[in-house]
Protein backbone atom coordinates (compact mmCIF):
# COMPACT_ATOMS: atom_id res chain seq x y z
CA UNK A 1 0.00 0.00 0.00
CA UNK A 2 1.31 3.43 -0.99
CA UNK A 3 0.39 6.80 0.40
CA UNK A 4 -0.77 9.14 -2.35
CA UNK A 5 -1.42 12.87 -2.02
CA UNK A 6 -3.93 14.44 -4.38
CA UNK A 7 -3.85 18.22 -4.66
CA UNK A 8 -7.03 19.96 -5.78
CA UNK A 9 -10.55 19.26 -4.50
CA UNK A 10 -12.47 19.69 -7.74
CA UNK A 11 -13.86 16.74 -9.66
CA UNK A 12 -10.49 15.87 -11.29
CA UNK A 13 -8.96 15.66 -7.78
CA UNK A 14 -12.17 14.22 -6.33
CA UNK A 15 -12.54 11.18 -8.60
CA UNK A 16 -9.04 9.60 -8.25
CA UNK A 17 -9.13 9.14 -4.44
CA UNK A 18 -12.19 6.91 -4.73
CA UNK A 19 -10.56 4.93 -7.55
CA UNK A 20 -7.23 4.70 -5.71
CA UNK A 21 -8.93 3.58 -2.50
CA UNK A 22 -10.68 0.82 -4.47
CA UNK A 23 -7.21 -0.36 -5.52
CA UNK A 24 -6.20 -0.47 -1.87
CA UNK A 25 -4.13 2.70 -1.74
CA UNK A 26 -4.05 5.19 1.12
CA UNK A 27 -5.01 8.68 -0.04
CA UNK A 28 -4.87 12.17 1.40
CA UNK A 29 -6.69 14.88 -0.58
CA UNK A 30 -5.90 18.59 -0.17
CA UNK A 31 -8.16 21.48 -1.14
CA UNK A 32 -7.09 24.97 -0.15
CA UNK A 33 -10.61 26.43 -0.28
CA UNK A 34 -13.92 24.52 -0.10
CA UNK A 35 -14.44 21.40 -2.23
CA UNK A 36 -15.41 22.33 -5.79
CA UNK A 37 -14.51 25.98 -5.30
CA UNK A 38 -12.33 26.19 -8.42
CA UNK A 39 -13.84 25.24 -11.77
CA UNK A 40 -16.08 22.28 -10.88
CA UNK A 41 -18.84 24.20 -9.10
CA UNK A 42 -18.97 26.76 -11.89
CA UNK A 43 -19.35 24.40 -14.83
CA UNK A 44 -22.26 24.28 -17.26
CA UNK A 45 -23.06 20.57 -16.49
CA UNK A 46 -22.57 19.24 -20.04
CA UNK A 47 -21.12 15.82 -20.94
CA UNK A 48 -20.39 14.89 -24.57
CA UNK A 49 -18.50 12.52 -26.82
CA UNK A 50 -18.89 14.82 -29.85
CA UNK A 51 -15.26 15.84 -30.27
CA UNK A 52 -13.35 16.21 -33.53
CA UNK A 53 -10.26 14.05 -32.86
CA UNK A 54 -9.78 10.38 -32.06
CA UNK A 55 -8.21 10.79 -28.61
CA UNK A 56 -10.96 12.95 -27.13
CA UNK A 57 -13.74 10.94 -28.82
CA UNK A 58 -12.42 7.63 -27.45
CA UNK A 59 -11.81 9.03 -23.97
CA UNK A 60 -15.28 10.58 -23.81
CA UNK A 61 -16.99 7.50 -25.28
CA UNK A 62 -15.55 5.58 -22.34
CA UNK A 63 -16.33 8.37 -19.88
CA UNK A 64 -19.99 8.47 -20.94
CA UNK A 65 -20.17 4.70 -20.36
CA UNK A 66 -18.82 5.31 -16.85
CA UNK A 67 -21.33 8.15 -16.31
CA UNK A 68 -24.14 5.75 -17.21
CA UNK A 69 -23.23 3.55 -14.24
CA UNK A 70 -21.92 6.19 -11.85
CA UNK A 71 -25.10 6.82 -9.93
CA UNK A 72 -25.43 3.15 -9.08
CA UNK A 73 -21.71 2.74 -8.37
CA UNK A 74 -21.51 5.73 -6.04
CA UNK A 75 -24.94 5.17 -4.51
CA UNK A 76 -25.88 8.81 -4.81
CA UNK A 77 -28.32 10.74 -7.00
CA UNK A 78 -26.11 12.79 -9.32
CA UNK A 79 -28.86 13.70 -11.77
CA UNK A 80 -27.13 12.25 -14.86
CA UNK A 81 -29.41 12.46 -17.89
CA UNK A 82 -28.72 11.57 -21.51
CA UNK A 83 -30.56 14.47 -23.07
CA UNK A 84 -28.08 14.85 -25.93
CA UNK A 85 -26.05 17.59 -27.58
CA UNK A 86 -27.31 19.32 -30.69
CA UNK A 87 -24.77 21.29 -32.72
CA UNK A 88 -26.24 23.51 -35.42
CA UNK A 89 -24.67 24.45 -38.77
CA UNK A 90 -25.21 27.87 -40.36
CA UNK A 91 -23.42 27.25 -43.70
CA UNK A 92 -22.90 24.51 -46.27
CA UNK A 93 -19.20 24.35 -45.36
CA UNK A 94 -20.16 23.70 -41.76
CA UNK A 95 -22.60 20.96 -42.79
CA UNK A 96 -19.72 19.25 -44.62
CA UNK A 97 -17.48 19.61 -41.54
CA UNK A 98 -20.25 18.13 -39.36
CA UNK A 99 -20.49 15.16 -41.74
CA UNK A 100 -16.74 14.51 -41.47
CA UNK A 101 -16.89 14.75 -37.66
CA UNK A 102 -19.89 12.43 -37.54
CA UNK A 103 -18.04 9.82 -39.66
CA UNK A 104 -15.10 9.96 -37.25
CA UNK A 105 -17.35 9.72 -34.18
CA UNK A 106 -19.34 6.83 -35.71
CA UNK A 107 -16.06 4.98 -36.38
CA UNK A 108 -15.47 4.86 -32.62
CA UNK A 109 -19.03 3.90 -31.75
CA UNK A 110 -20.47 7.34 -30.95
CA UNK A 111 -23.96 7.36 -32.54
CA UNK A 112 -24.05 10.99 -33.74
CA UNK A 113 -26.15 11.63 -36.85
CA UNK A 114 -27.04 14.55 -39.09
CA UNK A 115 -30.62 15.73 -38.64
CA UNK A 116 -32.89 18.24 -40.35
CA UNK A 117 -34.57 21.19 -38.73
CA UNK A 118 -37.98 19.53 -38.33
CA UNK A 119 -36.42 16.87 -36.13
CA UNK A 120 -34.37 19.52 -34.32
CA UNK A 121 -37.58 21.41 -33.53
CA UNK A 122 -39.12 18.25 -32.09
CA UNK A 123 -36.11 17.83 -29.81
CA UNK A 124 -35.99 21.51 -28.78
CA UNK A 125 -39.49 23.03 -28.98
CA UNK A 126 -38.31 26.62 -28.45
CA UNK A 127 -35.61 26.43 -31.18
CA UNK A 128 -35.49 29.07 -33.90
CA UNK A 129 -34.89 26.78 -36.89
CA UNK A 130 -34.69 29.56 -39.48
CA UNK A 131 -30.91 30.36 -39.35
CA UNK A 132 -29.78 26.72 -39.38
CA UNK A 133 -29.24 24.17 -42.14
CA UNK A 134 -28.66 20.95 -40.20
CA UNK A 135 -27.79 19.58 -36.80
CA UNK A 136 -25.27 17.08 -35.43
CA UNK A 137 -27.26 15.13 -32.85
CA UNK A 138 -25.96 12.61 -30.34
CA UNK A 139 -28.70 11.49 -27.95
CA UNK A 140 -26.13 9.76 -25.72
CA UNK A 141 -24.44 13.00 -24.69
CA UNK A 142 -25.89 14.53 -21.58
CA UNK A 143 -25.54 16.41 -18.32
CA UNK A 144 -25.23 15.85 -14.58
CA UNK A 145 -25.18 17.86 -11.38
CA UNK A 146 -21.55 18.90 -10.69
CA UNK A 147 -22.16 19.59 -6.99
CA UNK A 148 -23.68 16.20 -6.29
CA UNK A 149 -21.20 14.34 -8.51
CA UNK A 150 -18.17 15.70 -6.66
CA UNK A 151 -19.71 15.00 -3.27
CA UNK A 152 -20.80 11.52 -4.36
CA UNK A 153 -17.13 10.78 -5.10
CA UNK A 154 -15.99 12.38 -1.83
CA UNK A 155 -18.58 10.63 0.35
CA UNK A 156 -17.66 7.23 -1.13
CA UNK A 157 -13.94 7.98 -0.87
CA UNK A 158 -14.29 8.89 2.81
CA UNK A 159 -16.16 5.63 3.44
CA UNK A 160 -13.17 3.84 1.90
CA UNK A 161 -10.82 5.63 4.29
CA UNK A 162 -9.65 8.59 2.21
CA UNK A 163 -8.51 11.55 4.30
CA UNK A 164 -10.11 14.48 2.45
CA UNK A 165 -9.14 17.88 3.83
CA UNK A 166 -10.52 21.22 2.75
CA UNK A 167 -9.32 24.68 3.75
CA UNK A 168 -5.90 23.05 3.76
CA UNK A 169 -3.30 24.59 1.46
CA UNK A 170 -0.29 22.72 0.13
CA UNK A 171 2.72 25.02 0.54
CA UNK A 172 5.67 22.89 -0.53
CA UNK A 173 7.32 19.51 -0.95
CA UNK A 174 10.30 17.72 0.55
CA UNK A 175 12.31 15.98 -2.14
CA UNK A 176 15.18 13.55 -2.51
CA UNK A 177 16.48 14.06 -6.01
CA UNK A 178 13.46 14.11 -8.29
CA UNK A 179 11.31 12.11 -5.90
CA UNK A 180 8.83 13.87 -3.63
CA UNK A 181 9.02 12.38 -0.13
CA UNK A 182 6.64 14.62 1.81
CA UNK A 183 3.97 17.28 1.36
CA UNK A 184 3.93 20.37 3.56
CA UNK A 185 0.54 21.98 4.16
CA UNK A 186 -1.11 24.69 6.20
CA UNK A 187 -4.48 24.55 7.90
CA UNK A 188 -5.84 27.06 10.43
CA UNK A 189 -2.45 28.76 10.43
CA UNK A 190 -0.69 25.56 11.46
CA UNK A 191 2.00 24.02 9.22
CA UNK A 192 2.40 20.24 9.09
CA UNK A 193 3.89 17.69 6.74
CA UNK A 194 2.99 14.18 5.68
CA UNK A 195 5.23 11.55 4.13
CA UNK A 196 4.01 10.38 0.71
CA UNK A 197 4.94 7.88 -1.99
CA UNK A 198 3.35 9.79 -4.88
CA UNK A 199 1.64 13.11 -5.63
CA UNK A 200 -1.08 13.95 -8.16
CA UNK A 201 -1.37 17.59 -9.18
CA UNK A 202 -5.06 18.10 -9.99
CA UNK A 203 -5.19 21.82 -9.29
CA UNK A 204 -6.23 22.82 -12.85
CA UNK A 205 -5.86 26.64 -13.11
CA UNK A 206 -3.61 26.58 -10.03
CA UNK A 207 -1.53 23.62 -11.27
CA UNK A 208 1.47 25.72 -12.45
CA UNK A 209 1.97 26.88 -8.83
CA UNK A 210 2.13 23.25 -7.68
CA UNK A 211 4.52 22.32 -10.52
CA UNK A 212 6.80 25.10 -9.34
CA UNK A 213 6.78 23.66 -5.81
CA UNK A 214 8.11 20.41 -7.34
CA UNK A 215 11.06 22.31 -8.84
CA UNK A 216 9.65 22.47 -12.34
CA UNK A 217 9.15 25.56 -14.44
CA UNK A 218 5.76 27.17 -13.95
CA UNK A 219 5.41 27.14 -17.73
CA UNK A 220 6.30 23.51 -18.31
CA UNK A 221 2.56 23.21 -18.80
CA UNK A 222 1.45 26.68 -19.86
CA UNK A 223 -2.01 26.98 -18.35
CA UNK A 224 -3.82 30.30 -18.66
CA UNK A 225 -6.97 31.03 -16.66
CA UNK A 226 -9.75 32.45 -18.83
CA UNK A 227 -12.91 33.68 -17.20
CA UNK A 228 -15.79 31.64 -18.60
CA UNK A 229 -19.12 33.02 -17.52
CA UNK A 230 -22.62 31.62 -17.39
CA UNK A 231 -26.06 33.15 -17.05
CA UNK A 232 -29.10 31.28 -15.80
CA UNK A 233 -32.80 31.98 -16.16
CA UNK A 234 -35.67 31.25 -13.83
CA UNK A 235 -36.99 27.67 -13.96
CA UNK A 236 -38.91 26.83 -17.13
CA UNK A 237 -41.07 23.80 -17.76
CA UNK A 238 -38.82 20.76 -18.36
CA UNK A 239 -38.43 19.78 -22.01
CA UNK A 240 -37.96 23.25 -23.52
CA UNK A 241 -34.20 22.96 -24.22
CA UNK A 242 -33.01 19.77 -22.57
CA UNK A 243 -30.03 19.01 -24.84
CA UNK A 244 -27.09 21.36 -25.02
CA UNK A 245 -27.85 23.38 -28.16
CA UNK A 246 -24.93 25.15 -29.81
CA UNK A 247 -24.27 26.81 -33.17
CA UNK A 248 -20.44 26.76 -33.03
CA UNK A 249 -20.12 29.56 -35.60
CA UNK A 250 -21.98 31.92 -33.26
CA UNK A 251 -18.99 32.28 -30.97
CA UNK A 252 -19.67 28.85 -29.46
CA UNK A 253 -22.86 30.20 -27.87
CA UNK A 254 -25.03 27.56 -26.21
CA UNK A 255 -28.08 26.96 -24.07
CA UNK A 256 -28.86 23.95 -21.88
CA UNK A 257 -31.73 23.40 -19.48
CA UNK A 258 -30.62 22.55 -15.96
CA UNK A 259 -31.66 18.95 -15.37
CA UNK A 260 -32.76 19.68 -11.85
CA UNK A 261 -34.49 23.05 -11.53
CA UNK A 262 -35.29 23.71 -15.20
CA UNK A 263 -33.48 27.06 -15.49
CA UNK A 264 -31.80 27.69 -18.86
CA UNK A 265 -28.02 27.99 -18.56
CA UNK A 266 -26.57 30.26 -21.27
CA UNK A 267 -22.90 30.29 -22.23
CA UNK A 268 -20.70 31.67 -25.02
CA UNK A 269 -17.06 32.00 -25.95
CA UNK A 270 -16.91 35.61 -24.76
CA UNK A 271 -13.83 35.16 -22.63
CA UNK A 272 -11.57 37.41 -20.65
CA UNK A 273 -8.10 36.56 -19.45
CA UNK A 274 -8.43 36.55 -15.67
CA UNK A 275 -6.57 39.33 -13.87
CA UNK A 276 -5.52 36.81 -11.27
CA UNK A 277 -6.55 33.47 -9.82
CA UNK A 278 -9.13 35.20 -7.63
CA UNK A 279 -10.75 37.16 -10.47
CA UNK A 280 -14.24 35.71 -10.60
CA UNK A 281 -16.16 38.93 -11.18
CA UNK A 282 -18.91 38.55 -13.82
CA UNK A 283 -19.09 41.27 -16.48
CA UNK A 284 -21.99 43.15 -18.06
CA UNK A 285 -20.69 42.76 -21.61
CA UNK A 286 -20.97 39.01 -21.17
CA UNK A 287 -24.50 39.20 -19.77
CA UNK A 288 -25.70 41.24 -22.71
CA UNK A 289 -23.66 39.33 -25.30
CA UNK A 290 -24.69 35.85 -24.21
CA UNK A 291 -28.36 36.76 -24.01
CA UNK A 292 -28.30 38.21 -27.53
CA UNK A 293 -27.09 34.81 -28.76
CA UNK A 294 -29.56 32.94 -26.53
CA UNK A 295 -32.64 34.73 -27.92
CA UNK A 296 -31.42 34.14 -31.48
CA UNK A 297 -31.20 30.41 -30.69
CA UNK A 298 -34.48 30.31 -28.76
CA UNK A 299 -36.62 33.48 -29.17
CA UNK A 300 -39.08 32.71 -26.32
CA UNK A 301 -36.19 33.16 -23.87
CA UNK A 302 -36.77 36.89 -24.40
CA UNK A 303 -39.67 36.62 -21.92
CA UNK A 304 -37.80 34.67 -19.22
CA UNK A 305 -36.11 36.31 -16.26
CA UNK A 306 -32.38 36.11 -15.59
CA UNK A 307 -31.79 35.04 -11.99
CA UNK A 308 -28.04 34.70 -11.78
CA UNK A 309 -24.69 35.13 -13.48
CA UNK A 310 -21.38 33.68 -12.40
CA UNK A 311 -17.84 33.04 -13.63
CA UNK A 312 -15.32 30.23 -13.40
CA UNK A 313 -12.10 29.40 -15.19
CA UNK A 314 -11.34 27.62 -18.38
CA UNK A 315 -7.82 26.53 -17.41
CA UNK A 316 -6.57 26.56 -20.98
CA UNK A 317 -3.50 24.98 -22.47
CA UNK A 318 -2.22 26.21 -25.87
CA UNK A 319 -4.06 23.37 -27.68
CA UNK A 320 -7.08 23.20 -25.33
CA UNK A 321 -6.21 19.59 -24.47
CA UNK A 322 -5.37 18.68 -20.86
CA UNK A 323 -1.95 17.60 -19.62
CA UNK A 324 -2.29 14.08 -18.24
CA UNK A 325 0.56 11.83 -17.17
CA UNK A 326 3.79 11.60 -15.21
CA UNK A 327 6.01 14.65 -14.74
CA UNK A 328 8.67 13.28 -12.38
CA UNK A 329 9.36 9.87 -10.81
CA UNK A 330 6.43 9.99 -8.42
CA UNK A 331 4.79 13.28 -9.43
CA UNK A 332 1.77 13.09 -11.73
CA UNK A 333 -0.51 15.65 -13.30
CA UNK A 334 -4.06 15.91 -14.64
CA UNK A 335 -4.70 19.59 -15.29
CA UNK A 336 -5.42 22.23 -17.92
CA UNK A 337 -8.79 20.77 -18.85
CA UNK A 338 -9.80 23.84 -20.85
CA UNK A 339 -13.45 23.48 -19.87
CA UNK A 340 -13.75 19.67 -20.22
CA UNK A 341 -12.76 18.43 -16.76
CA UNK A 342 -16.21 17.63 -15.43
CA UNK A 343 -17.23 15.47 -18.39
CA UNK A 344 -13.86 13.66 -18.46
CA UNK A 345 -13.60 13.04 -14.71
CA UNK A 346 -14.93 9.46 -14.46
CA UNK A 347 -12.50 8.27 -17.17
CA UNK A 348 -9.54 10.38 -16.08
CA UNK A 349 -10.03 9.51 -12.39
CA UNK A 350 -9.91 5.81 -13.19
CA UNK A 351 -6.98 6.19 -15.60
CA UNK A 352 -4.88 8.19 -13.12
CA UNK A 353 -5.57 5.73 -10.31
CA UNK A 354 -4.41 2.89 -12.56
CA UNK A 355 -1.30 4.74 -13.71
CA UNK A 356 -0.25 5.75 -10.20
CA UNK A 357 -1.07 2.46 -8.51
CA UNK A 358 -0.12 -0.06 -11.21
CA UNK A 359 1.66 1.86 -13.94
CA UNK A 360 -1.12 1.07 -16.42
CA UNK A 361 -4.85 1.37 -17.00
CA UNK A 362 -7.47 -0.23 -19.21
CA UNK A 363 -9.07 3.17 -19.82
CA UNK A 364 -8.66 4.09 -23.52
CA UNK A 365 -6.67 7.21 -22.71
CA UNK A 366 -4.06 8.13 -25.31
CA UNK A 367 -1.15 9.01 -23.03
CA UNK A 368 0.91 10.20 -25.98
CA UNK A 369 -1.78 12.67 -27.03
CA UNK A 370 -2.12 14.17 -23.54
CA UNK A 371 1.63 13.97 -22.75
CA UNK A 372 2.40 16.80 -20.28
CA UNK A 373 5.85 17.33 -21.82
CA UNK A 374 4.49 18.08 -25.32
CA UNK A 375 4.50 21.86 -24.77
CA UNK A 376 8.15 21.84 -23.74
CA UNK A 377 8.96 19.95 -26.96
CA UNK A 378 7.01 22.55 -28.94
CA UNK A 379 4.34 20.04 -30.03
CA UNK A 380 0.69 20.94 -30.11
CA UNK A 381 -2.26 18.65 -30.71
CA UNK A 382 -5.13 19.70 -32.91
CA UNK A 383 -7.17 22.06 -30.80
CA UNK A 384 -9.85 20.24 -28.84
CA UNK A 385 -13.32 21.24 -29.97
CA UNK A 386 -14.11 23.76 -27.29
CA UNK A 387 -17.59 24.15 -26.13
CA UNK A 388 -19.69 22.84 -23.23
Partner 1 sequence: MGGKKIVCRCNDVTVEEVEALIDSGVTDIEELKRLLRIGMGPCQGRTCVPIVLGILARKTGRSQEEIPLPKARVPIRPVRVEVIVGGADE
Q: List residues near partner 1 by CB under 8 A.
A: 34-37, 41, 147-148, 151, 155, 158, 166-167, 233-234, 260-261, 282, 287-288, 291-292, 294-296, 299, 301-310
Q: Using the minimum distance from each CB to partner 1, give the nearer residue, 167 or 184.
A: 167
Helix, strand, or coil here: 63?
helix
Q: Using the minimum distance from each CB to partner 1, give the nearer residue, 164 or 244.
A: 164
CB of 261 to partner 1, least distance (A): 7
Handedness of CA 257, 260, 261, 265 (dihedral sign): negative
CB of 119 to partner 1, least distance (A): 23
CB of 385 to partner 1, least distance (A): 28
Among residues 10, 1, 52, the alpha carbon closest in space to that of 29 is found at 10
CA atoms of 40 and 161, how far apart (whole Å): 23
Q: Using the minimum distance from each CB to partner 1, give the nearer residue, 297 or 363.
A: 297
CB of 114 to partner 1, least distance (A): 26
Q: Which residues of 90-106 are buried (b: 16+ CB within 10 A; e: fewer)?
A: eeeebbeebeebbebbe
CA atoms of 254 and 127, how far apart (whole Å): 12
Q: Using the minimum distance from each CB to partner 1, give the nearer residue, 48 or 232.
A: 232
CB of 183 to partner 1, least distance (A): 22
- Length of the chain, in residues: 388
What pairs with residue 26 in β-bridges? 3
Contact criterion met (CB below 8 Å) for 233 and 248: no
Q: Using the minimum distance from each CB to partner 1, give the nearer residue, 158 or 218.
A: 158
Amino acid sequence: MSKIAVIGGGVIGGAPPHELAKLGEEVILFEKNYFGSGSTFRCATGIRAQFTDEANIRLMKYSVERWEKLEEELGFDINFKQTGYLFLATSEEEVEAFKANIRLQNRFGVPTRLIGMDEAREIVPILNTEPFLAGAWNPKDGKANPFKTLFAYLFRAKELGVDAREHTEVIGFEQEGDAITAVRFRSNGKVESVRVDAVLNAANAWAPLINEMAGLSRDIIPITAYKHQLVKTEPLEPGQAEPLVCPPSWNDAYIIQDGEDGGIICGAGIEHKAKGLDDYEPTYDFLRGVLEYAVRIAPPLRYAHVVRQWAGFYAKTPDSNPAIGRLLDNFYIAAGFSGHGFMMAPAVGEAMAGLISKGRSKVPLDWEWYDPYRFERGELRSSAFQIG
